[in-house]
Structure 1
Amino acid sequence: MSYAYSHPDPHVEGPMHRVPEEGMRKIWGWAVLIAVGGFLFGFDTGVVSGALLFIKPEFHLNALEQGSVVSVLLLGAMAGALTAGRVADRLGRKMTFGLEGVVFLVGTAMAVFATGYPMLLVARVVLGLAVGAASAIVPVYLSEISPPSIRGRTLTLNQLLITVGILVAYGVNLTFAGAENWRAMFACGAVPALLMVVAALWMLPESPSWLASRGRTREARKVIASVTDDETAELLLERWNRREEEDEKSRPKQSGWHLLKTVDLRPALVVGLTLAAVQQFGGINTIIYYAPTLMQSTGLNASNSIFYSIAIGVINLVMTVVSIRLVDRAGRRPLLLGSLAGMAITLGLLGLAFVLDLPSWLALVAMVLYIAAFAAGMGPTFWVIIGEIFPPRARAAGSSASTTVNWMSNFIVSLVFLTVVNAIGEGQTFWIFALVCVFAVWFVMKYVPETKNRDVDKIDADMQVRFGRRPASGEAARRG
């Protein structure tokens, strides 16, 4: 039997350090199915852009009602992300994933058969609940079924499927635009939602670390052995049991949200929440909002916004693929630092183009480079980091908290952007986003550990050192 080693250094301890190639293929199959949750995240946030063109005249929507149909999904997503961690800790990752598929189906059906604005609004809230829950749980699930060597790539797969979902949504919009069939646009989301339910019932395993934490050792051993062997499964379970015993001694009867309040987990929580806010306050959604305007200013025909959305989606997708190829080679910190630096520079140039009324092609180039920089680093790597920095007992709650802040930040930026632009100007607003990215470069350099090929104990030790809670020594002293 040939083996794929999950860590290039055999002396570095890590879970499932030796996985057969057949086992790796099985894990990748699971990862693709789990990432369907990310696909629906992208699809349901993107499909409304085309559907709204035809919903507006049919339901006679005014400007406020149109805006609410789009933005109410963000409120639902906040609620979904906030509650998903607790549900996943209680019911398990697999069942929660299947329930998310059911909620997607219900929301899709409500949207397809909506008879007016109120029903459509409720449908978008329900879809938001599913989107938020999926955004919180998919990274956790992916992290817990992946060995270290491919953990970065499987977690980045979530962002890849989000971008694919957005791109497919634009393609679906284009397909049904001629017939003005917005109901068919929404209906296409039922196919991946049904796949989530089927996968949870018959194709996916439960997270072995969740099973072990619930005392279901035999089931956990069976899942691990299905991709490695009995000996590796036993060793890994012994490590998990030791960690659980140590956690019980230091933090008895604490788990999930309560565990996040402890001093030891404060560094991980600060990193997760800060990166979640930065990903949105770095201006990504506002840049996409300005894309058609900037393209039109270059002399291009911007009458068909769907075509331009597809072009942006392709750039986003291509650079996310680049990130997948680099995340387990270059590491998380280099991608974050390079991405944030690129975002700061391009935002600075974009602001300058507005303030000094520079040639429009410069603004267009800056915008395209900004999207590329975001997609190659900050976009996908945030989801990787939040899947790795929290210990197993707090992973779902930590991801839930971080994702909730991410959606809240998205909502705040969307809400106040135009107000700020009207008050200080477009260029100055983009400079504020640039300053956020500069702050983020400093924050990552000082506080974010390298998580590549490291287990949770080594990641935590590095974070404790970075936050000044423990003296630097040995592995903990390394700053990646």
Structure 2
Amino acid sequence: MPSRGKLARLALLAVSSGLLFGVDLGSIGAAIHPMAEEIAMSTLQTESVVSGAKGGAVGGCLLGGALMSSRGRRFTVAVSVIPFVIGPIFLIFATSFAELLLGRLLMGFGIGLASVAAPNYLSEVVPPALRGIFEAMYELGIALGMLGAASINLGIEHFDQHGGDCPLGNCWRYQAGMVPLGAAFPLLLAVLLVPESPRWLMSMADSDDAGLLAALEAIQELGRDGATVRLVAARGGTGPPTTTRTTDDLVSLWDERHEAAGSPLWSARTAETVGFERSRETRIKTRHVLLQTFRDIGAILSGAAHVPEGAHSGLLLAIAAAILNQACASTSLLVYTQHVLQEAGVSNRETQNSLSLAVVAAKALGVILGLMLVNRVGRRMLLGWGGALSALLILVLAVGAAYKNVAVLLTGMSGFVLVFYTTWGIGYWIVVVELTAAGGPRFSGASQSFATATLFATGWLTSLTFIHVISLGPYGLLIYAGVAVLMALFAAFLLPETSGRSLEECGELLQSTAAPLLGESSDSQEVSHSPSERSSLN
């Protein structure tokens, strides 16, 4: 098991990558009304700006999948910071709808890159027993980002309401621009403290001894048991170490890949003669990989014969989870909390922000509870009860909206947010990695990118239509309650139990259970590949 220091670095990456999404969600809500008033935007334009971040995230997810394959998981996380720095600057100085929309799209693009790369990276470097907790830390980062942004925005609103003078003009520019800008820099620090994913390095190395050495060095930097003794032997050229038995998943995988390559590092060739110079064939261009990603997604969805068994059904399950996660208005409700309160009769903006802080705090508490539960209950139970209780609490929210009772309304909102982020909020980021594991190094990345792009696309559509849906009154909220019921049914009848399994074991489970359940194409199921053939395909 890695030391606490090694795990702390990974935890910092998990939390700081989630901060981008969380600060975005927590900052835009307080700025909606003053921003719309100053720029003179219509309701549709306002919805477009608010939902623009999720629209940009769709593109970020798809490009992120290509970058992960061609340049690495860690590299992609680092690149996500760039658009998240540029986007807020546009918002700070925006004078038109187009500038606001562009800034929000850029912020979303960075969120999309981080959202697909960070969970993927964590799933590949964290021990299986801790994978659920670390994937949940990404959601914890979102919660902390929202809580921090909401708290700062409340202070800005208080300053504005009591005669303060914001140098840039209306204080919404600080709420929507300056606050998100500061969230980008912790992620830069976190990326500098962790190595590239050994699994990605091994997939790029194939039988190259330099690549295998780089992967082993990354495993050793992660503090995995058995890596140091192998690295000493490889660098010294003294032959295999005397003790090679290990229970570590990464070290065992490296042993298999190294042996399959003919054990090149157990020779007299030392590290001084080995440089990790990628060959021309290995140095793949991102544009080529992006096009290949789209082709791979099409092959997976169609159940092509060359796609590993279980990848088709795993992607369908991941897509279903992504749609349900956002179609219940889980993030839209957080973004539009102030608007919902205004519809219920709360007209003072400072009061709106104060009450919305309670909803954001419920999200943070939900994630903390989820961290405590994620390794204690199975995935199906966690998501099943989450869907059922979410449906009940949305009904409470609808009753509060019907009678314009702020106390009942706030109870329904806070309760729903608490339950959702205890269960589905952290659950999606865990199960999407586990459900797509059957695709192997090549197809799992494409599957995760497409599933998470679907998540943001659904969130974009939900946010784009949220004001119109709640304008229908309490009956509009029943749509979201119906989605929550579907969430419970999905977990009970379709979701396989992947808790406590390695990624390789999750892939095997999908091959044996999920494919028959969803009707994997017969052509895909009839093709059987040997390990060497699968390696060449992946």
TM-score when scaled to structure 1? 0.82
Which is worse superposed, 162-171 or 29-38? 29-38
In structure 2, give the amino acid aligned to 1:187. M
The separation in 2 between residues aligned to 1:59 and 1:296, in whole angstroms, is 20
Q: What corresponds to 2:239 in structure 1?
A: none
Equivalent pair of 1:447/1:466 in contact (CA under 8 Å): no
Alignment CA distance shift 1:286-1:47 (3 Å): closer
Match of 1:347 among 394, 415, 425: 394
CA deviation vs aligned residue, 1:151-170 (integer Å, no higher than 9, x gap): 10100011111111112111
Report the Cα offset of residue 372 of structure 1.
1.6
1:279 matched to which residue of 2?
A: 325
Which residue is 2:375 aligned to?
A: 328
* CA–CA separation in structure 1 for the residues paired with 2:409 and 2:84: 38
After superposition, give the CA deviation of every residue in 1:225-254 in whole Å (9 maximum; x if it has no partner): 231232556423134578999xxxxxxx99
Q: Which residue of 1 aligns with 2:199?
A: 209
Distance in 2 between residues matched to 1:311 and 1:194, nearest whole Å: 27
Which residue does 2:448 correspond to in 1? 399
Query: Equivalents in 2 of 1:59, 1:363: separation in Å?
Result: 30
1:54-89 CA-partner distances (Å, limit 9, x unpaired) = 444544444444333222222211111122111111
Work out whether residues 21 and 111 of structure 2, in 8 Å CA contact, stay in contact via their aligned partners in 1: yes
Change (3 A) 1:431 1:466: farther
Secondary structure of the 1:188 match is: helix
- Selected match of 2:185 from 180, 194, 198: 194
Residues 46 and 335 of structure 1, relative CA distance in 2, 3 Å threshold: same
Cα RMSD for the two superposed structures: 3.1
Aligned counterparts of 2:468 and 2:183: Cα–Cα separation in 1: 37
The alpha carbon displacement at 1:107 in A equals 1.8
Rounded to whole Å, the distance in 2 between the matches of 1:158 and 1:25 is 18
Structure 2 CA distance for aligned equivalents of residues 315 and 405 of structure 1: 26
Aligned to 1:169: 149
150 and 295 in structure 1: CA distance in 2 versus 1, 3 angstrom threshold: same
Pick the aligned partner of 2:495 from 437, 448, 455.
448
Q: Distance in 2 between matches of 1:244 and 1:417?
A: 55
Select 1:90's aligned residue among 47, 59, 70.
Answer: 70
Query: How far off is 1:127 after superposition?
Result: 1.0
| 1:79-478 → structure 2 map (5 Å cutoff) | 79-177=59-157, 178=159, 179=166, 180-185=170-175, 186-200=177-191, 202-215=192-205, 216-226=211-221, 227-228=223-224, 229-230=226-227, 231=244, 232=246, 234-239=251-256, 256-260=293-297, 261-262=299-300, 263=303, 264=309, 265-285=311-331, 287-288=333-334, 291-292=337-338, 303=349, 304-351=351-398, 361-391=407-437, 392-421=441-470, 425-467=472-514, 469=516
* Cα distance, 1:258 vs structure 2: 4.3
In the alignment, is the contact (CA less than 8 A) between 1:353 and 1:362 conserved in 2?
A: yes
Relative to structure 1, is the Cα distance of residues 324 and 239 closer, same or farther in structure 2, using a 3 angstrom cutoff?
Answer: farther
Deviates more, 1:430-439 or 1:396-405: 430-439
Q: Deviations over 1:21-73 (max 9, x none)?
A: x2x43123223224312101111232122234444454444444433322222
Shift of 1:128: 1.4
- Length-normalised TM-score, structure 2: 0.74
Aligned mates of 1:65, 1:310 — CA distance in 2: 26
Distance 1:420 1:182 in 2: 26
- Conserved? CA contact 2:395–2:478, under 8 Å: yes
Q: Residues 128 and 500 of structure 2 are in contact (CA less than 8 Å); yes or no, is this contact kept in structure 1?
A: yes
**Partner SS state of residue 320, structure 1:** helix
Summarize deviations over 1:323-378 as a string: whole Å, max 9, x none.
011101223222111111111222344446667x5976545433332222101101
Q: Percent identity?
A: 26
Q: Classify the secondary structure of the residue corresponding to 1:205.
A: coil
Amino acid at match of 2:29: S
1:156 aligned counterpart, secondary structure: helix
- Largest Rg, 1 or 2: 2
